[in-house]
């Protein structure tokens, strides 16, 4: 499924790398939250720091890694629908867009990895892969109706359609609650700094893990296993493993590849909450690796 043409790009998702124009609404919001993150450094206390860490785990760990990525994009496991919806709501707290848009973009990335049509490849520039694809053009900002063709399974749910259209609502509600509970310090840490940190760690999976690290498998892309990105993203940094076996719920294949999302998923499986968990045979995968 090629959403970008060689000459300019498919307007459904956004223009190709060569067709740059600043997306001012997105850029202004990003600038404001980054300014808020800087301001948060001058309003530190341990209570707001702990709150930010917990919210980071909920939003990026459960919302993005467990929810948007391994569950909604790749259907690596199943959970009751109410829990699936809960993970999706947590995902919106990252300011990374709604579930349909996020899933559509990531599925396209896997279909055209580091090739023409990849929304965020470092081959088009390091800054482009990290944040440029968000700030320039229309990537990941098209209407729900247009992107639904790339995530038809989610578009069948009225809840996901609503959440994709109004993905900013949960974050605004959380911001109001945090401000009411702890004033500006809690707002700055729980929203601004936490969101900025989460954005950049997620973007590192798009940029850093396609540039730096080791390659266990000879995939058709530049994906790499990067331990420090994995530590920041609850196991998402084992990116070469993931591109080799994209539907595997386990990303850290070797015993030393720390994968917190997989550890939690194993616990949910033992409790009977997570079912149909897709995992690659570790011994076979490591034995069949084509590069070190």
Nearest residue to 230 via CA among 210, 214, 251: 251
Question: Which pTM was predicted?
Answer: 0.92
Eight-class DSSP state of 124: G
- pLDDT less than 50: residues of the chain: 1-12, 14-16, 18, 290-292
Q: Is 123 exposed, middle or buried (0-12, 13-18, 19+ CB in 10 A)?
A: middle
Q: Give the per-residue pLDDT at 287.
A: 73
d(CA 14, CA 181): 39
- The structural domains of the chain, with segments of one domain joined by +, span 24-211
Cβ-Cβ contacts under 8 Å for 282 (sequence gap 6 or more) = 250, 253
Nearest residue to 252 via CA among 222, 282, 277, 278: 282
- 254: helix, strand or coil: coil
Q: Give the per-residue pLDDT at 207.
A: 98
d(CA 225, CA 239): 5
- Whether the Cβ atoms of residue 51 and residue 186 lie closer than 8 Å to each other: yes
72-117 pLDDT, tens digit per residue, is 999 999 999 999 999 999 999 999 999 999 999 999 999 999 999 9
Nearest residue to 254 via CA among 222, 223, 290, 216: 216
């Amino acid at each position: 499924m090629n959403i970008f043409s060689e000459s300019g790009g498919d307007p459904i998702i956004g223009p190709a790398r060569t067709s740059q124009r600043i997306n001012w609404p997105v850029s202004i919001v990003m600038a404001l939250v980054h300014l808020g993150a800087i301001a948060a450094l001058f309003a530190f206390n341990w209570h707001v720091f702990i709150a930010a860490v917990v919210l980071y785990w909920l939003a990026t760990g459960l919302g993005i890694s467990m929810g948007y990525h391994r569950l909604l994009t790749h259907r690596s496991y199943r959970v009751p629908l109410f829990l699936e919806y809960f993970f999706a709501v947590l995902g919106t707290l990252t300011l990374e867009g709604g579930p349909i848009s996020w899933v559509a973009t990531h599925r396209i990335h896997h279909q055209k990895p580091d090739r023409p049509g990849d929304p965020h490849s470092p081959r088009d520039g390091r800054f482009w892969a990290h944040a440029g694809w968000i700030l320039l053009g229309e990537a990941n900002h098209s209407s729900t109706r247009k992107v639904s063709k790339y995530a038809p399974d989610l578009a069948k749910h009225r809840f996901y359609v609503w959440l994709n259209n109004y993905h900013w609502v949960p974050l605004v509600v959380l911001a109001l609650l945090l401000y009411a509970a702890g004033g500006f310090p809690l707002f700055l840490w729980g929203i601004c700094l936490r969101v900025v940190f989460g954005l950049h760690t997620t973007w590192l999976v798009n940029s850093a893990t396609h540039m730096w690290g080791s390659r266990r498998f000879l995939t058709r892309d530049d994906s790499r296993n990067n331990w420090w990105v994995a530590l920041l993203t609850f196991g998402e940094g084992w990116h070469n493993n993931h591109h080799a076996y994209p539907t595997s719920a386990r990303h850290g294949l070797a015993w030393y590849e720390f994968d917190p999302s997989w550890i939690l998923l194993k616990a949910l499986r033992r409790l009977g909450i997570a079912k149909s968990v897709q995992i690659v045979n570790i011994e076979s995968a490591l034995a069949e690796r084509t590069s070190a």
